[in-house]
Chain A
């Protein structure tokens, strides 16, 4: 079983950076330190508790880019910010069937995540059977900065634990 954990979001845009931050913590917890600003070219090879292969990556643009990233894996866990108007810090656990509209899962320049998955399937790409999305309600996605809002910061360890818990 090959799993990819993807942190989606802009690393320097306050609460939008929650995905990249979460995957950095996950990587630390899985046993190695993640270099700053890691890209998809770094291919860590972790073993989860059940012996599964795990790759951790950080990307910004969704849509077709996300499709490229998930291709070849059995399972994909995606962490992203979302703006629905609910209480900041709220964690939603979604599947691809929920037609997720988290902030970065689609791209205004190409396609939504469901469309990307549809195209991948038409092309016979090997795509994850299971796609789980953790979307964290953001408070500030309009300001540049390296700090999360207090509410989202509090949710960060919960998200990390939840993702790691789902690995096994």
Chain B
């Protein structure tokens, strides 16, 4: 990948800061999205033993340590040239499904859902989980809390620790699953399925049956015709843990499918002089600026993207909902698969379908006789010196790439984290929101912040590992600048 060194002074700085630049006519010329970047992760890791990475990388981020832990052990499987036993792979997946259930649940009810459940025009102070409780009732919050607790219990049981889990080792898993544990997890998986179906029903009743919300979901404000990326299994179905990376073009045709180890041949990073963020794009299409369309290499990797790249879902009920979503939004089947949905707000619906898939797949794994096999580890006997591990993190495709010397001491570490994939699409969504609300120098102040925040929220950017955390909820600052670069208006909302 090409690297360009840029004087940091020329870059804009700030936490969650958005700069909107207007042209001479007072229309939006460009929008810039700023987050500070963390320094020194590669230096922190180089010189350490490769086998320490699963417990180092899961400390990068307090939100998705499970995703980092699994991408890391998969990279180590390859670096040490060892294939884990089937039971170990299933235990890893079982834990990962429990994680997906908690993560997607929390996002929908606490972060994304309030826009719909409380209403997009409700005052910001009410557009949160407390507003959801006031509208839907206390029971919903109890269900969310219970769902989190029971799945955290599974993560702790399988991972050895609730936070900073430690179960993954190169060549397998450090502990097998007892029959008693399996039974308990089976019960939890069944409760998760009920909860996922309940959540989809709630989405149906509150959003799809409300013409105003449906109009919002299908309005053109967040429509971007980009490429999409996601992992798929051998039958081109969504897979969170393993598979090939599939990219489809904006018309839904498969553009490329490659093993994760070939990411460097397929993805490049674009650098802008005003930010430390790097914008990944599809190498063979090229960087054409912040524009969508088939000639622009911008792609998205999100719950909606994963569904867009897949032919179907691997579990029956999730597949019914998958088909219903595409049919409802008028997507036609071409060559046996649905054309992609480009309306970004549909990501919330896709997330709930993934929640159901995770719950169903959790039950499949929990009732699989192999999952209690004591054979969970193959001891590594050699060092190949290079390993690339990839999983679907809730916020996009996550890749860990390690290289080591012949003692297993790290010489190189690179990561492409889920959120990074979505920097360019997020910029597109922010620009579109700004264009809708600013014309000829006239700013519709009401709703500007929320329209921009809704764009953020649907991607649920996890900046703690991509760049790093912002304090509390995002303390968003939006500066509007005229053609001379002077600030003409500032909007802010502290979390």
Chain A positions within 8 Å of B, measured between CB atoms, are 10-13, 37, 39-41, 58-65, 68, 83, 101-113, 115, 118-119, 122-123, 125, 141-145
Contact A60/B130 with A68-B148, A145-B40 known, Cβ cut-off 8 Å: no
Residues of A within 8 A of B166 (CB): 37
Task: Fill in one digit per residue for B250-264: 1 if any A CB lies within 8 Å of its CB, else 0.
Answer: 000000000000000
Residues of A within 8 A of B156 (CB): 39, 41
**Complex alpha-carbon distance, A145 and B161, angstroms:** 23
Most buried by A among B60, B129, B165: B129
**Complex alpha-carbon distance, A39 and B59, angstroms:** 11
- Flag if A37 contacts B55 (CB, 8 Å): yes
Contact A10/B162 with A109-B462, A112-B472, A123-B138 known, Cβ cut-off 8 Å: no
Residues of B within 8 A of A122 (CB): 130, 133, 138, 141
- Flag if B44 contacts A108 (CB, 8 Å): no
- Flag if A39 contacts B163 (CB, 8 Å): yes
- Flag if A60 contacts B59 (CB, 8 Å): yes
**Complex alpha-carbon distance, A155 and B294, angstroms:** 56
Interface of A is mostly: loop
**Complex alpha-carbon distance, A142 and B163, angstroms:** 22
- Flag if B468 contacts A142 (CB, 8 Å): yes
B106 at the A/B interface (Cβ < 8 Å)? Answer: yes
Chain A residue with Cβ nearest B139: A123
Contact A108/B110 with A40-B163, A61-B62 known, Cβ cut-off 8 Å: no
- Flag if A41 contacts B162 (CB, 8 Å): yes
B315 at the A/B interface (Cβ < 8 Å)? Answer: no
Chain B residue with Cβ nearest A9: B62
Of A13, A104, A113, A119, the residue contacting B130 (CB under 8 A) is A119
B39 at the A/B interface (Cβ < 8 Å)? Answer: yes
Q: Could you list some 25 contacts between A and B, CB below 8 A?
A: A10-B62, A12-B56, A12-B60, A37-B164, A39-B162, A39-B164, A40-B161, A60-B61, A60-B65, A103-B471, A107-B63, A107-B472, A109-B106, A110-B111, A111-B473, A112-B495, A115-B128, A115-B130, A119-B133, A123-B138, A125-B145, A142-B37, A142-B38, A144-B38, A144-B41
Chain B residue with Cβ nearest A110: B110
Residues of A within 8 A of B40 (CB): 143-145
Of B38, B149, B165, the residue contacting A13 (CB under 8 A) is B38
- Flag if A39 contacts B148 (CB, 8 Å): no
Residues of B within 8 A of A104 (CB): 62, 469, 471
B183 at the A/B interface (Cβ < 8 Å)? Answer: no
- Flag if A11 contacts B62 (CB, 8 Å): no
Contact A108/B163 with A60-B62, A64-B106, A118-B130 known, Cβ cut-off 8 Å: no
Most buried by B among A105, A107, A142, A145: A107
Residues of A within 8 A of B177 (CB): none
B494 at the A/B interface (Cβ < 8 Å)? Answer: yes
Residues of B within 8 A of A142 (CB): 36-39, 468
Q: Would you give the shortest CB distance from A30 to chain B, in whole angstroms? A: 20
- Flag if B469 contacts A108 (CB, 8 Å): yes
Q: Which of B143-167 contact A (CB under 8 A)?
A: 145, 148-149, 152, 156, 161-166
B200 at the A/B interface (Cβ < 8 Å)? Answer: no
- Flag if A123 contacts B473 (CB, 8 Å): no
**Complex alpha-carbon distance, A113 and B471, angstroms:** 11
Q: Which of B45-75 contact A (CB under 8 A)?
A: 55-56, 59-63, 65
B107 at the A/B interface (Cβ < 8 Å)? Answer: yes
B197 at the A/B interface (Cβ < 8 Å)? Answer: no
- Flag if A59 contacts B163 (CB, 8 Å): yes
Of A10, A107, A115, the residue contacting B60 (CB under 8 A) is A10
Q: Which 10 A-B pairs have the closest CB atoms?
A: A60-B62, A106-B472, A61-B62, A39-B161, A110-B110, A144-B44, A39-B163, A144-B40, A143-B39, A40-B162
**Complex alpha-carbon distance, A109 and B112, angstroms:** 9
Contact A108/B36 with A123-B138, A142-B468, A144-B41 known, Cβ cut-off 8 Å: no
**Complex alpha-carbon distance, A64 and B109, angstroms:** 12
B460 at the A/B interface (Cβ < 8 Å)? Answer: yes
- Flag if B163 contacts A60 (CB, 8 Å): yes
B142 at the A/B interface (Cβ < 8 Å)? Answer: yes
Residues of A within 8 A of B472 (CB): 62, 101, 105-108, 112-113
Q: Would you give the shortest CB distance from B177 to chain A, in whole angstroms? A: 17
Chain B residue with Cβ nearest A14: B40
B454 at the A/B interface (Cβ < 8 Å)? Answer: no
